[in-house]
Amino acid sequence: MNGSAAYVEGAVDYTTKIPNNVNLAEDGRVLKALEQWHPGYIDWWMSMGPEGFQASEVYLRTAVSIDPKGWAKFGHVKMPEYRWGVLLAPQEEGRLVNFGAHKGEKAWQEVPGEYRAMLRRLLVIQGDTEPASVEQQRHLGKTAPSLYDMRNLFQVNVEEGRHLWAMVYLLQKYFGKDGREEAEGLLERRSGDVDKPRMLGAFNEATPDWLSFYMFTFFTDRDGKMQLESLAQSGFDPLSRTCRFMLTEEAHHMFVGETGVGRVIERTCEAMKAAGIEDPFDIARIRALGVIDLPTLQKKANLHFSLSLDLFGSEVSTNAANFFNSGLKGRFMETKIDDDHRLTSAVYPVLKFIDGEIRMVDEPALTALNMRLRDDYVKDCQGGVNRWNKLIEKAGVRFALSLPSVAFNRHIGEFAGVEASPDGKLLTAAQWAKMRDQWLPSSGDGEFIASLMTPCWERGEYARWVSPPKVGVDNKPGDFDYVRIHAG
Amino acid sequence: MGIALISETDAQALAPRPRASFIDFQTEPSRYRHWKLRFEGERAELAMDVDENGGLFEGYLLKLNSYDLGVDIELADALQRLRFEHPEVRVVVLKSAKEKVFCAGANIRMLAGATHAHKVNFCKFTNETRNGMEDSSRFSGQKFLCAIKGTAAGGGYELALACDEIILADDGSSTVSLPEIPLLAVLPGTGGLTRVTDKRKTRRDRADAFCTIEEGVKGKRAVEWRLVDAIATTSKFDAAVNAAAARLAATSDRPVGAAGIALTPLMREIGETSLTYALVRVDIDNAARRATITLQGPASAPPADVAALHAMGADFYSLRLARELDDAILHLRANAPEIGVIVFKSEGDPARALAHDAFLGDNAGHWLAREIVNYWKRLLKRIDMTSRSLVTMIEPGSCFVGILAEIAFASDRAFMFSGRMKGDDRPEATLALSALNFGPLPMSNDLTRLQTRFIGEPESVEKARATIGSSIDASDAETLGLVFESLDDVDWADETRIFLEERSSFSPDGLTGLEANLRFAGPETMETKIFGRLTAWQNWIFQRPNAVGPEGALKRYGSGVKAGFNRERV
Ligand SMILES: [Fe+2]
Ligand SMILES: [Fe+2]
């Protein structure tokens, strides 16, 4: 995978210490900066990465090319030896800025001075989420329900690590001294730490169990996808190219989440049927079977959906307007949208809390971009929920999962100060307190789920609360040794 | 003006309309909407918790602890009560009651919609309030510690700058910033630029960088650049604040075991063309664009001792007069913009007035007497800073003595009646000076009004000092240079009428500029720089299309559309 591969268009150069397709070998300054950053990264990975599995051999895919058809190569790797690198999608000839005040100008290959601070902030916020989720998930290996799941967890983890590399490369290449300082800062903050928390709320929440992990990768990684999609539109070409490649990896994370929840659903329905339980709300009997009841799945979805919505920021946002107008962050599928791509006179409907009620109000489209991206996100989530409901329907259980109202359980934006039910009705604090445990996981729910989290590390075996996958990774057979566990 | 870094705004701003018929500077803690005061022995906590629906005008929301004049009126009231009602408080911890934001500065929607006159007034009042915090620290032994968690942007950081010390949370997200230039194309005009260089003594190149970094500075760099005194992690933040507060309190000379006095509500009657208080009357002549403020002298002798003074509390003459005059001046500034000339008159017994001065002078070591003199100092500075022509008419029966004589010295012109008016049995007009005219009531240039007046003839100050306690008639006052002109019965009416009519005919802008230049001879201080350099530049920038034109940064702020600038450097 080195040698001749290095000469192929789009191939990754493994001759340098840091695999890359950006010709680092001839960019001494950035190569040096990355090499200096590297030991700190490894320290971080060893102390904050997957706990207890650093010596295990994991069947991971490593990027060897950026050609969508053949970019990955699978093999057993010890995680600390994973070849993290800097990979950008290929440069498009003649790419333009496609939106905002600079629409039609040539895409920037260097950072425009006036946008330097703004862009840096965007990169740091995005960058901060990548190591955060690794930290949040570091204890999960111990309770993995199968080697297959364990391998998927670690794959997600190493790729989040690589996403951090991607952001750090941009910071070090284009943002000078400040960029190097920010790159250090990304290794210093810690998820959930009182003194040095990660920047965004959802990334300081615990991921206590595997159901949370599936929900997180479905809902929160999907926020990541939406953010990357809109940054992939950027007029700053290196950022666009970076995000386009990251999206290919992100797709796998959401696959893990969607199929994870799907497999829980299948297992639950199957167990209910076998035991002759028709009522999905017969929770005690269902739980006695050692599977997770569907109403609890709904609560988990409610929690992760609402936390992820907070990541979109305020519905009406000057920052979002500035990012767009400056050509730095576009909309989801920007180039496919049929409008002037400047939005200086357009409006967009925003759900707001006005005079004690929830109402749709037209706001200038420029300032409503967070709202718009969130709407696209909700649609994307709904697709996944529909597919889950197909599984339930197919199993013949009368139950449907749904997304709660965007006003439900919010801490940022229009609905931060109010309480609302999942169907969007406003509640008093007392009503909320009374109903909270019906809608969000209670401590009892948490204890029940925790009681199921016992490791299942035999080849080809699965914990009894989750079904096996339909197909193995890289088409491997069911009893494949995805992880060869060695203490460490 | 301190400008808010408000990243989330309502895009459609309506033109601000006042919610009340006039702007009232009187309030009290039970009516506060934006501040929370908590007392704990020698320490008070003043927490900013702005009610976003509590703006003074309609059409904007005070999000993220951004402020308007109404918020600052409450702050000024709280500070005043801390001085008088709480002698036990040695340190005030200024903080935010909101999470993630300390204070986002002056509300931009409010500024964008306000009239120029309102902006200037707002700016002046907020500056006076912050200067007052420094005055409290230096002269009243009340120290200020600013505990910043979250964003302190623009005016928010400027508020912090007025404190003795600043502690910033080291949590990776708390920052201090002056983003006015990059964000709004205006200046951090509430003392920000001046205090960064002259008080914090930040190196000029770093100050230059700081003022152009929109997101501000945090953590170690904020300390290294002298923008804050210390940083503390979230888990150690409260302990660091407590330690610094205790250390600051230990430097205070506030009395132990003293009880405060209540600042009871002022008696005030607002008529069509008049404002009447117990000791102050304002008569407004709209046609002549003139207000006459008449001050009553004391009705009785000063109290026998400080215990009696304390028992009188807010009813004590000198304190009541100060509070009423302060309110009258603020009222005219905010609610009577077209009044171009303020004429000061007084009525009373000069000997009694002098006795009050002597009482305050003799008891300068007592906290309450000290507080009253400090209040007069700030009030007289406020008069100096009032952009109206100031005229004192020293007539028969008046009592421009000691503190009250400072009003004559604060005026652009003082005219003194010589002799008696026909058919008038009031005593002849006299002036008298007290020790208070020679030190405790400096102007913002740190000189007394007499030193400033006689900047080129210091011997005249000494001649004046030699008259302390004695009565000075019109011709002596003219000889001593204490008044512009003495006029007898033959000339008085005509000369003063012609002067006032002529004054009213000049350009108001020209006069404002003229007076502001002539009033402050002598050295620069931080205060004179803040008003004379910073505010003046700010007000110029605020008039320019690059800020307020249709494509200006202030107008476009929040829309996401970039400002269009006229690139010509002026
Ligand atoms: Fe990622
Ligand atoms: Fe991800």
Chain B residue nearest residue A317, CA to CA: B8
Please tell me whether residues B243 and B293 are part of one structural domain: no
What spacing in Å lies between the alpha carbon of A224 and ligand 1's midpoint? Answer: 6
Of A118, A196, A319, the CB nearest to B172: A196
Overall domain count for chain B: 2
Please tell me whether residues B312 and B212 are part of one structural domain: no
Task: Determine, yes or no, domain membership for B32.
Answer: yes
Of B11, B233, B562, the CB nearest to A364: B11
Residues in chain B with CB shorter than 8 Å from the CB of A195 are 170-171, 233-236
| Mean pLDDT (10-residue bins), chain A, 488 residues | 38 75 87 91 95 96 74 90 88 94 96 91 94 96 97 97 95 92 93 90 90 97 95 96 92 96 98 96 97 98 96 92 95 95 93 88 94 97 98 96 97 91 94 96 96 95 96 91 88
Please tell me whether residues B240 and B361 are part of one structural domain: no
Report the candidate in B44, B557, B98, B30 with the shortest Cα–Cα distance to residue A318.
B557
Which pLDDT belongs to residue A451?
97
Of A185, A199, A364, the CB nearest to B559: A364
Report the candidate in A384, A401, A383 with the shortest Cα–Cα distance to residue A392.
A401
Of B11, B233, B562, the CB nearest to A316: B11
- The proportion of chain B whose per-residue pLDDT surpasses 70, expressed as a percent, equals 97
**pLDDT tens digits, one per residue of B187-209:** 998 999 999 999 999 999 999 99
**pLDDT tens digits, one per residue of B303-319:** 999 999 999 999 999 99
Please tell me whether residues B289 and B342 are part of one structural domain: yes
Mutate to test the interface with B, among A122, A367, A369, A371 (most CBs of B within 10 A): A367
Please tell me whether residues B32 and B153 are part of one structural domain: yes
Residues in chain A with CB shorter than 8 Å from the CB of B63 are none
Mutate to test the interface with A, among B3, B6, B7 (most CBs of A within 10 A): B7
**pLDDT tens digits, one per residue of B330-364:** 999 999 999 999 999 999 999 999 999 999 999 99
Chain B residue nearest residue A119, CA to CA: B215
Interface of A with B (CB under 8 A): 101, 117-118, 121, 185, 188-189, 194-197, 199, 313-314, 316-322, 324-326, 344, 363-364, 366-367
Which pLDDT belongs to residue B3?
41
Which pLDDT belongs to residue B116?
87
Mean pLDDT along residues B506-530: 93
SS3 content of chain B, % helix, strand, coil (to 5): 45, 15, 40
pTM of the model: 0.86
Of B6, B11, B172, the CB nearest to A363: B11
- Indicate if the pLDDT at residue B5 is higher than 80: no
Domain span including residue B233: 28-252
CA pair distance B48, B53, nearest whole angstrom: 15
| Closest-CA distance of chain A to residue B434, Å | 57
Which residues make Cβ contacts (< 8 Å) with residue B347, sequence separation at least 6? B294, B295, B296, B297, B397, B398, B399
Please tell me whether residues B182 and B225 are part of one structural domain: yes
More confident residue, B553 or A233: A233
What spacing in Å lies between the alpha carbon of A244 and ligand 2's midpoint? Answer: 13
CA pair distance A149, A449, nearest whole angstrom: 17
Task: Determine, yes or no, domain membership for B350.
Answer: yes
Residues whose beta carbons lie less than 5 angstroms from ion ligand 2: A 221, 224, 250, 253
Could you tell me the pLDDT band of residue B18, with boundaries at 50, 70 and 90?
Answer: low
Which pLDDT belongs to residue B1?
42
Residues in chain A with CB shorter than 8 Å from the CB of B182 are 117
- Answer for the pair A294, A304: CB distance below 8 angstroms, yes or no: no
Q: How many CB pairs under 8 A join A and B?
A: 72
What spacing in Å lies between the alpha carbon of B21 and ligand 2's midpoint? Answer: 57
Please tell me whether residues B333 and B479 are part of one structural domain: yes
Could you tell me the pLDDT band of residue B172, with boundaries at 50, 70 and 90?
Answer: confident
**pLDDT tens digits, one per residue of B207-222:** 999 999 999 999 999 9
Give me the helix-helix angle, A237-275 and A294-310, nearest 10°.
160
In chain A, count of helices (H) and strands (E)? 13, 7
Distances (CA, A) of A82 to A17, A133, A158: 12, 18, 8
Which of B252, B278, B301 represents a domain boundary (last residue)?
Answer: B252
Mutate to test the interface with A, among B3, B5, B8 (most CBs of A within 10 A): B8
What's the complex ipTM? 0.77
Of B12, B235, B561, the CB nearest to A194: B235
Which residues make Cβ contacts (< 8 Å) with residue B393, sequence separation at least 6? B343, B344, B345, B414, B415, B417, B496
For B409-464, where are the E strands, in sequence order?
Answer: 413-418, 431-432
Which strand (E) or helix (H) includes residue A359?
strand A357-364
**pLDDT tens digits, one per residue of B449-484:** 999 999 999 999 999 999 999 999 999 999 999 999
**Is B12 close to A185, i.e. CB distance below 8 A?**
no
The ligand whose atoms approach the alpha carbon of A253 most closely is: 2
Q: Is B234 in CB contact (< 8 Å) with chain A?
A: yes
Residues in chain B with CB shorter than 8 Å from the CB of A320 are 560
Which pLDDT belongs to residue B21?
80
The ligand whose atoms approach the alpha carbon of A130 most closely is: 1
Which of B208, B227, B252 represents a domain boundary (last residue)?
Answer: B252
- Per DSSP, the three-state class of A51 is coil
Please tell me whether residues B393 and B479 are part of one structural domain: yes
Residues in chain A with CB shorter than 8 Å from the CB of B554 are none
Which pLDDT belongs to residue A8?
44
The ligand whose atoms approach the alpha carbon of A220 most closely is: 2
Mutate to test the interface with B, among A105, A115, A195 (most CBs of B within 10 A): A195
Task: Determine, yes or no, domain membership for B10.
Answer: no
Which pLDDT belongs to residue B333?
95
**Is A367 close to B558, i.e. CB distance below 8 A?**
yes
Q: Please give the radius of gyration of chain B, using alpha carbons only, rounded to the nearest integer.
A: 24
Residues whose beta carbons lie less than 5 angstroms from ion ligand 1: A 130, 160, 163
CATH number belonging to domain A3-484:
1.10.620.20
> Domain with B277 in it: what CATH number?
3.90.226.10
Q: Which of A200-204, B184-188, B556-560 has the lowest mean pLDDT?
A: B556-560
- The proportion of chain B whose per-residue pLDDT surpasses 90, expressed as a percent, equals 82
Of B8, B170, B213, the CB nearest to A317: B8
CA pair distance A386, B275, nearest whole angstrom: 71
| Closest-CA distance of chain A to residue B8, Å | 5
Task: Determine, yes or no, domain membership for B298.
Answer: yes
Which pLDDT belongs to residue A417?
83
Chain B residue nearest residue A324, CA to CA: B560
- Per DSSP, the three-state class of A205 is coil
Tell how far CA B180 is from the center of its chain: 23
Residues B552, B556, B558, B561, CA torsion sign: negative
CA pair distance B108, B1, nearest whole angstrom: 10
Which pLDDT belongs to residue A278?
95
| Closest-CA distance of chain B to residue A362, Å | 10
Q: Is B224 in CB contact (< 8 Å) with chain A?
A: no
Which pLDDT belongs to residue B193?
94
Q: Is B517 in CB contact (< 8 Å) with chain A?
A: no
**Is B560 close to A196, i.e. CB distance below 8 A?**
no
Please tell me whether residues B66 and B212 are part of one structural domain: yes
| Closest-CA distance of chain A to residue B7, Å | 5
Which pLDDT belongs to residue B114?
87
**Is B562 close to A195, i.e. CB distance below 8 A?**
no
The DSSP-derived string for B198-261 is IIS---HHHHHHHTT-TT-B-HHHHHHTTSSSEEE-HHHHHHHHHHHHHHHHHT--PPSS----
Please tell me whether residues B118 and B76 are part of one structural domain: yes
Chain B residue nearest residue A128, CA to CA: B172
Residues in chain B with CB shorter than 8 Å from the CB of A314 are 7-8
Report the candidate in A40, A2, A37 with the shortest Cα–Cα distance to residue A20.
A2
Task: Determine, yes or no, domain membership for B556.
Answer: no
**pLDDT tens digits, one per residue of B431-447:** 999 999 999 999 999 99
Domain map of chain A by residue range?
3-484
What spacing in Å lies between the alpha carbon of A160 and ligand 1's midpoint? Answer: 5
**Is B213 close to A317, i.e. CB distance below 8 A?**
no
Please tell me whether residues B64 and B184 are part of one structural domain: yes
What spacing in Å lies between the alpha carbon of A205 and ligand 1's midpoint? Answer: 17
Which pLDDT belongs to residue A69?
66
Task: Determine, yes or no, domain membership for B260.
Answer: no
